Structure 1
Amino acid sequence: MAVPAKPTHLFDRHAEWRGLTSFVADARPGATLGVVSGRRRQGKSYLLQALATAAGGIYFPALELTEAVSLRLFADELVRFTGAPVPPFRDWLDAVPFLLRAASGRPVPVVIDEFPFLVKASPELPSIIQRELGPGGSGGASSARLLLCGSAMSVMGGLLSGQAPLRGRAGLELLVHPFGYRDAARFWGITDPALAVLVHSVVGGTPAYRREFVRDDAPSGLGDFDAWMIRTVLNPQTPLFREARYLLTEETDIRDSSLYHSVLSAVAGGNSTSGGIASYVGRKANEIAHPLRVLEDSRLLVREPDLFRPGRAVYRIAEPLISFYHAVMSRDWTRLERGDAATIWPSAQPRFLSQIVGPHFETVCRDYAIMADPVVFGGLPAEVGVGVVADPAKKTQIQIDVAVLAPAEHGQPRRILSLGETKWDRVMDRRHTERLRRARDLLTAKGFDTRDTVITCYSGAGFHPDLESEGPRDVRLIGLDQLYAG
């Protein structure tokens, strides 16, 4: 089977398209299984519909219906595909073998979108698919390239884990992420790096937030950002206004939404450790362990280990819109619902800059570092994260915003490629490099290899002339232009 070209209407997603078309075009006999997941609004359905159309396959969008109704709709889709009558299905034991037999002769993509809806009504469905794909099943004589897709991350993640029926059956496991910060800027048509950071700190890289949710309304320039916020994100007449409140309800494992919103509010407010989150919420640490795990599984929360203190970690919210909602919108929700954004936004801006843009800029800088060319830090980054270095002599701690480590080598001290600090709205000077050098000396004493460690300053506001003219070999200055170059 020829590999179909990526349609021109699909923005980016080159790697995802290559993975999908390679899976579909595999000419080996027998049905194969792939799993596609990702949070809502990332363009999974758009991508898979394009694949099914380009390769002449089946696309079945499941709905939250009873099994009987879903089976009737599924039969209708098979009629459209085969052009022939389809017998009524009593259950999925009838439907799955019929599907696999119908997809024969050539590799055929068969997309079942929002698969968790079907599993909710028919919990036995994964086991039926497993049986038909196994020895003696109807999949042996089929050419179906079955793609199960869903947005309920806890359900999709469980399909191939542990003792799940489909574990070991999938030949493709594709996670559709939001656009990276550079691709997001291109998608929004933004060329000013400062504006790109501001917009990304609110809406992230979710494609639907531009197309459907604000009807392609993008800020025309940095001077239009405040007005854009008022007419889109803070406007109760746009779908984006309530989106952050709905994201939690789409996860099937979340029961007590008030507790989960409280956990997210704690993190948005700067409480990044499990103890700090528990204290903010008013629960014991063991009582929030499950919510933290569910939010991680749902890809709404990210646990980042401290690279210099084993066993310790901090949490951050993965979806910028949720951070923005809890830090800015929730406390003035009633007035915002009444359309008073023009009054509220000016007073909320200091909070927006300190609680949202500053921490988000750190995330952007870490994303830059992990993809950096080896020449930037003198080696290939293997791990990028945060860390805290204790300074016993001064009885203080030094926060490392962007720590870059080289690959671990057995029997050798871990090599630190770079220690970095970020400032979104402050001009950086020698005080920042001196603090990082102090951290480097302390890490040397702890047994790390810091002989070639680069001191890196990341700034959205620029650098003091003394720092720029100093030009030592061990210092890198990364501004907005460098972050968005390439």
Structure 2
Amino acid sequence: MTFYNRVDELETLTSGVESPGSDFIVVYGRRRVGKTELLKEFCTDVPHVYFLAAQEAEHRQREKFIDRIADHFDDRVPRIDGWDDAFQYLGEKLATEDLVVVIDEFPYLVEENDSVPSYMQEFVDEHLHETDSMLVLCGSSVSTMESEVLGHESPLYGRRTAQLDVQPFSFKQAREIIEYDIADAIRSYAVTGGTPMYLTLFDYDRSLRENVRSRLLSPTAVLYNEPEFLLRTELRNPARYMSILEAIALGHTTPNEVAGATAIDSGPLSKYLQTLRRLRLIEREVPVTASQKKSKRSQYRIADEFLRFWFRYIEPNRSSIEEAPNIVYDGTIAPDLPTHVATTFEDVCQEAVWEAIRRGDVPPYSAVGRWWYREHEVDIVGLAPNDDRLLLAECKWTSEPVGAALVERLRETTAHVRWGPGDREVRYALFSKSGFVEGLEDDLSESWSLFTLDDIDSLLRSASR
């Protein structure tokens, strides 16, 4: 399988190996995001021991761990009675040879014995510290990694030399994999999101319809039950969480709307929402001009495009999919897909704004995000407090070119965005799937920037090279 991107992550790991002294690096992130592939790619050219933990009895975990170490050193497998002895054995071996030691899915070890972080602390302090070796702890359970490895209460707190929070690919990064033209690339990203496994499952020589049909709209397809599987690995009873995710995916974005759609009282709902946020399945969003902590105008959104697609189209239609998948696609998904993709397009345009800022094509802004107040909203707002400058941008995923009506509407909305002094500088941008009516750009001042799909593609593709 081709290894994509992760340049910064590989550089961090490589710098650790090349620097003098020992290193202890923590790698974590959601399942399927490519952590294991990253570590395998890194380990290709360095002496290493790689151990993948599994959900099994503690003694079997320990036996397999010792086997891996003994095998690397061509040593007789010693008798080991506890994790303290296991790490003592590893420490003795590292005194003879510098290695990269990777323990993948570390939370499985903690699940069977919550004293493992304490034994690991002793190993780091007493053995690893005296070598030029590197220890890498990796895990998909973000909550466990943050509490048992990175948290203040963890015995390992303060000992790491670096940490990698591995994220799904942005559209700019995913564009390297998605071999469609720009319009279909955005549509495809609205289905797969940036999870490397999902991106590489699609065959880009086939149409998007064919990929969705074969990869999602079949009970035997890999992605058909994927979200349910992911939830069951993190939660004992995922039913209510699934109903919350479905409600958010279908447009119920405020706590009151979610409560109404799911019939879950606000008290328990708040805890469920917190758990979903901790698992990085949803995000809490406030207007870019508001305080993240203090604002009461919060909305929730699914944190992953694939999950948003699945809970919008697959979960509510499972019975129909099993009987007539083609009808579900042609009658339910295809007519509504532009509405679904429009949200993804806003995120892609936001990426384009940041890239334009980095390239100096537009003036700098320190914060970029959505804004809304009562019946008014703007897709993208940029704030430059030091310069009292405001950016207002709209993103239109429509079949018709954008004309003067949108320009006038955005101008009218400007007065409702209460930020900065009265003499603030206001700049505008329009992003359009279908381009702009002839002559529009000539009628606008230099404070306006217009972006077509080709402009966005050129901007993001050049950035990825």
What is the one-letter code of the residue matched to 1:301? I
Matches within 5 A, 1:383-394: 383-389=367-373
* Match status 1:163 vs 2:153: yes
2:299 is aligned, of 314, 320, 325, to 314
SS of the residue 2:176 aligns to: helix
Residue type at the aligned position of 2:391: S
Distance in 1 separating the partners of 2:421 and 2:258? 31
SS at match of 1:437: helix
Number of residues of Structure 1 aligned to a counterpart in Structure 2? 453
Task: For 2:412, give the aligned amino acid.
Answer: R
> Partner of 1:279 in structure 2?
260
1:394 is matched with none
The equivalences for 1:344-359 within 5 A come to: 344-349=328-333, 352-359=336-343
Q: Distance in 2 between matches of 1:264 and 1:355?
A: 18
- Distance of aligned partners of 1:107 and 1:474 in 2 relative to their CA distance in 1, 3 Å threshold: farther
Write out per-residue CA displacement over residues 437-486 of structure 1, whole angstroms, 9 at most, x where no aligned residue: 22323336x53577332211122122222423323211111221122222
How far apart in 2 are the matches of 1:140 and 1:37?
22
In structure 1, give the amino acid aligned to 2:121.
Answer: Q
Q: What's 1:232 paired with?
A: 215
1:100 counterpart SS class: helix
AA aligned opposite 2:193: G
Q: Quick one: which amino acid aligns to residue 368 of structure 1? A: A
The answer to whether 1:53 aligns with 2:44 is: yes
Match of 1:331 among 312, 316, 323: 316
**TM-score by structure 1 length?**
0.87
Paired AA for residue 292 in structure 1? L
Identify if the C-alpha distance between structure 1 residues 351 and 266 changes in structure 2 by more than 3 Å, giving closer, same or farther: farther
Does the 8 Å contact 1:109/1:144 carry over to 2? yes
Q: Which amino acid aligns with 2:91?
A: L
Cα distance 1:316–1:450, how it changes in 2: closer, same or farther (>3 A)? farther
The aligned residue for residue 383 of structure 2 is: 405
Counterpart CA distance in 2 for 1:346 and 1:448 is 51
CA distance in 1, matches of 2:423, 2:263: 42
Which residue of 86, 91, 97 corresponds with 1:100? 91
Aligned to 1:475: 448
User: 1:146 offset after TM fit, Å?
Assistant: 0.8
Consecutive unaligned residues in structure 2, runs of 5 or more: none
Q: Percent identity?
A: 28
Q: 1:376 to 1:234 in 2, by over 3 A?
A: farther
Q: What residue in structure 2 maps to residue 424 of structure 1? A: 397
Matched, 1:245 2:228: yes
Q: Distance in 1 between matches of 2:365 and 2:51?
A: 41
Superposed counterparts of 1:98-177, under 5 Å: 98-104=89-95, 107-134=98-125, 137-158=126-147, 159-177=149-167
Q: Distance in 2 between matches of 1:438 and 1:198?
A: 31
- Show the counterpart of 1:393: none
Letter in 2 for 1:178: P
Unmatched runs of 5 consecutive residues or more in structure 1 = 1-7, 391-396
Alignment check: 8 A CA contact 1:23 1:145 kept: yes
Conserved? CA contact 1:429–1:464, under 8 Å = yes
Query: Shift of residue 19 of structure 1?
Result: 0.8
Please report how far the alpha carbon of residue 306 of structure 1 lies from its aligned counterpart in structure 2 after TM superposition.
Answer: 1.3
3-state SS of 2:224 partner: helix
Alpha-carbon deviation of 1:354? 5.0
**Candidates 310, 327, 345, aligned match of 1:361:** 345
How many angstroms apart in 2 are the aligned matches of 1:298 and 1:69?
A: 28
Deviation at 1:156, TM superposition (A): 1.6
Shifted more, 192-201 versus 363-372: the winner is: 363-372
Give the residue type in structure 2 aligned to 1:144: S
- When residues 456 and 389 of structure 1 are mapped into structure 2, their CA distance, relative to the original with a 3 A threshold, is farther
| 1:120-141 Cα deviation digits (max 9, x unpaired) | 011111121123323xx22332
Alignment partner of 2:438 out of 465, 479, 485:
465
Counterpart of 1:32 in structure 2: which amino acid? D
Q: Distance in 2 between matches of 1:437 and 1:154?
A: 44
What is the alpha-carbon distance in structure 1 between the residues aligned to residue 340 and residue 205 of structure 2?
19
Match of 1:452 in 2: 425
The reply on whether 1:200 has 2:189 as its aligned counterpart is yes
Which whole-Å deviations, capped at 9, do the CAs of 1:91-111 have from their partners, x for residues lacking one?
A: 111111221332245642110
Question: Which residue number in structure 2 is paired with residue 78 of structure 1?
Answer: 69
**Aligned 1:369-388 pairs, distance under 5 A:** 369-374=353-358, 378-388=362-372
Matched position secondary structure for 1:241:
coil
Q: Which residue of 2 aligns with 1:218?
A: 204
Q: Partners of 2:110 and 2:34 in 1: how far apart? A: 22
State the distance in 2 between where 1:245 and 1:23 align.
37
Deviation at 1:273, TM superposition (A): 1.7
CA distance change for structure 1 residues 270 and 141 in 2, over 3 Å: closer, same or farther? same
Moved more, 95-104 or 356-365: 95-104
SS in 2 for 1:371: helix
